[in-house]
């Protein structure tokens, strides 16, 4: 087993917290985007440097309707605001809580030799933003998360911070959904994608979306609308309905089973109860501590063969364990050679 660095605070209890449209929010049809999305509409308000190769950006975002944070882990030889060199770029996406800092503050990715010559971009996301320009009952408008990440952050770092056109993407929990959804919806934008405990087939479990968002006080129908009446919007974002667009792409899928695993302390408590999450006709087994991870496992197991049939180059690692950062840290290291190889081919 690979060593796992300390992960800081105890695991989060919000459902799917391992919780990024150029398609109009009211439409939702997937379309090819063979080149970089539109010119940036964001501008840098503040730039802070630390001694650990880290640069923190505060950017104004039209898509989000507020300012937002982006962290960069810069490669050796990188110079601030002097993009004389275009670096292979890895985009790391946060979970549903939107916190972009654990990659460096908890997982210690700056110590990894494989990333010495890669620019790593870590944008934040609004709470449970689901890597989507929200439908907002047909009205559109903020939060337009996909536009923030791909139409604002991506062009901005390519214009000013040396990010190059060789890109890969990975994410934890809801960020795993973002990694696959972005790669499929914008074919050619990313050369490889990795998902750790990702919510990779939301149309399979719409009740989980509803339960989690209602628990957080969010309007679940504002995201993609009703799963049947606005089925086309759900499917336009769901990787399981976009598998043909991942043909030839290296994909890493990993997920636990919700039971106590090797990286869980013996006194690990069950996830916080989310009303409406459990399907009365298909209850969770008694030994499942993390219903969220059990749901993710079912979706990953459904997606993997669909990707293989479509011609994606899929590697899976299904294991015991809960919806918890130590597993995401471990799986990131497992998938990193694949991601870096894609950046250099």
Q: Are 258 and 297 in contact (CB under 8 A)?
A: yes
**Angle CA 24–26–32, to nearest 5:** 35
Average pLDDT over residues 262-285: 93
Q: What is the DSSP string of 26-95?
A: TT-------S--SPP--EEEEEEE-TTSEEEEEEEETTTTEEEEEEEEPPTT--TT--SSPEEEEEEE--
Of 82 and 329, more confident: 329
pLDDT of residue 295: 97
Sequence-distant contacts of 202-207: CB under 8 A, at least 24 apart:
202/130, 202/177, 202/234, 202/237, 202/238, 202/299, 203/227, 203/231, 203/234, 203/235, 203/238, 203/240, 203/241, 204/240, 204/298, 204/299, 204/302, 205/295, 205/298, 205/299, 206/234, 207/276, 207/277, 207/279
- pLDDT at residue number 2: 33
Would you give the DSSP letter of residue 133? Answer: B
- The reported pTM is 0.89
Residues 61/133, Cβ–Cβ less than 8 Å: no
Q: Are 284 and 278 in contact (CB under 8 A)?
A: yes
Among 36-40, 232-236, 241-245, the range scoring the smallest mean pLDDT is 36-40
Between 8-22, 64-78, 122-136, the lowest mean confidence (pLDDT) is in 8-22
Asked if the model's pLDDT at residue 83 lies above 70, the reply is: no
Torsion angle, alpha carbons of 246, 247, 250, 255, to 10: 60
- Can you tell me the mean pLDDT for 95-103? 96
Q: Please report the pLDDT score of residue 82 as a whole number.
A: 62
More confident residue, 79 or 116: 116
| CB-CB contact of 169 with 46 (8 Å) | no
pLDDT at 4: 33
pLDDT tens digits, one per residue of 143-201: 999 999 999 999 999 999 999 999 999 999 999 999 999 999 999 999 999 999 999 99
Structural domains in the chain plus CATH codes: 43-343 (3.40.50.1820)
The pLDDT-based confidence of 106 (bands split at 50, 70, 90) is: very high
User: What is the pLDDT averaged over residues 262-274?
Assistant: 95
> To the nearest whole number, what is the mean pLDDT of the chain?
89
pLDDT digits (tens, 9 = 90+) for 16-52: 433 333 333 333 333 333 444 454 468 999 999 987 7
């Amino acid at each position: 087993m690979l060593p796992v660095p300390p992960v800081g605070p105890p695991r989060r209890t919000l459902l799917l917290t391992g919780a990024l449209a150029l398609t109009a929010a009211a439409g939702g049809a997937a379309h090819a985007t063979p080149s970089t999305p539109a010119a940036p509409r964001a501008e840098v308000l503040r730039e802070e440097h630390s001694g650990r190769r880290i640069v923190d950006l505060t950017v104004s975002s039209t898509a989000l309707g507020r300012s937002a944070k982006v962290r960069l882990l810069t490669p050796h030889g990188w110079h601030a605001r002097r993009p004389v060199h275009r670096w292979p770029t890895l985009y790391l996406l946060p979970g549903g809580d939107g916190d972009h800092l654990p990659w460096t503050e908890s997982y210690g990715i700056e110590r990894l030799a494989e990333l010495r010559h890669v620019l790593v971009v870590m944008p934040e996301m609004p709470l449970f933003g689901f890597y989507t320009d929200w439908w907002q009952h047909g009205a559109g408008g903020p939060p337009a998360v996909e536009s923030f990440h791909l139409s604002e952050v991506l062009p901005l770092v390519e214009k000013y911070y040396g990010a190059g056109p060789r890109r890969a993407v990975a994410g934890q929990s809801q960020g795993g959904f973002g990694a696959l959804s972005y790669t499929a919806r914008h074919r050619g934008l990313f050369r490889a994608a990795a998902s750790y405990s990702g919510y990779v087939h939301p149309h399979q479990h719409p009740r989980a979306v509803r339960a989690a968002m209602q628990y957080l006080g969010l309007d679940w129908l504002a995201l993609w609308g009703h799963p049947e009446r606005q089925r086309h919007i759900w499917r336009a974002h769901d990787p399981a309905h976009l598998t043909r667009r991942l043909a030839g792409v290296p994909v890493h899928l990993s997920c636990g089973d919700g039971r106590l695993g090797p990286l869980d302390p013996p006194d690990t408590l069950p996830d916080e109860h989310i009303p409406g999450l459990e399907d009365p006709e298909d209850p969770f087994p008694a030994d499942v501590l993390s219903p969220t991870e059990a749901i993710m496992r079912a979706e990953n197991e459904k997606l993997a063969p669909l990707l293989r049939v479509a011609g994606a180059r899929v590697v899976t690692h299904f294991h015991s364990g809960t919806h918890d950062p130590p597993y995401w840290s471990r799986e990131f290291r497992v998938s990193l050679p694949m991601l870096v190889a894609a950046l250099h081919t």
